[in-house]
Structure 1
Amino acid sequence: MKNVFLTLLFLGFCFSLSAQNDPKVGDELVIKAQNGTSYNHIKFPKLNMLVKRGKLANYKSVHGNTVVIDEVVTDKNDNTYVVLKKKDGSKFFGFLSKVKANYEKSIASGEMAPQM
């Protein structure tokens, strides 16, 4: 009986870990600071495009922003992309209402993290 209980407990724990990797509409994430000069897996505009629109050429305005998953898209290569919008309803850099991101790669690289 003890072995059955431990087996069920272990299977429940494994199932709960695998369920956390699937993005759902409405999940909240936090955008973290990038390692280099640009984000590799979140499709923010390039710095020169920000300058042309009269903004500062940096991504500091999005560090620490809480975003909500608006749409989940899986392509034919089993890559999961999410469409993100800000939780407070404002726009990214004053002109983008939504951005697209590769979910698995951005989480793995530390560009985004689930909100605790």
Structure 2
Amino acid sequence: MKKIIFTLLCFGFILTASANNDPKIGDLLTVKTPTAQGFNHVDFPKANILIKRGVVTNYKSVNNETVIIDKVETEANGSTTVILKKQDGSKFFGFLNNVKADYTKAIGAGELVAIK
């Protein structure tokens, strides 16, 4: 009997913990620059596009930047895509108002970190 109650209690805890992981409009996130060359799950422009626009090609300008979730889209395959805007209202790299990101993959890879 104790094992059944313990199992149900653990199952309930896991369900409530996973339910809080869903993104909502207005949630705050922090962009963290990955150790690799570029971002894989946040759709920032590639280095050649930044060079053509005259922007420095490293991603230091977006490192530790606080962003707000502006829109949440759920795909047919179950992945969640979010539209991100800067909290201060400025543009990414001086020309992008918003960027797309695969929420679950970007959080898992450490490219985005949720602010509690």
Q: TM-score, normalised by structure 2?
A: 0.87
Q: Which residue of 1 aligns with 2:59?
A: 59
RMSD across aligned positions (CA): 2.0
Q: Please state how far the C-alpha of 1:8 moved relative to its aligned partner.
A: 8.6
Deviations 1:49-102 (A, max 9, x none): 111111101111000000000000111111100000001100000000100000
Q: Per-residue deviation at 1:20? A: 1.9
For structure 2, the 5+ residue unaligned runs are none
Distance 1:23 1:86 in 2: 16
Moved more, 83-92 or 11-20: 11-20
TM-score, normalising length: structure 1: 0.87
Name the structure 2 match of 1:76. 76
Cα deviation for residue 19 of structure 1 reads 2.1
Identity value in percent: 53
Following superposition, the deviation at residue 18 of structure 1 comes to 1.6
Per the alignment, residue 41 of structure 1 pairs with 41
- SS of residue paired to 1:17: helix
Q: What secondary structure does 2:85 align onto?
A: strand
Moved >6 Å (runs of 4+):
5-9
Aligned to 1:108: 108
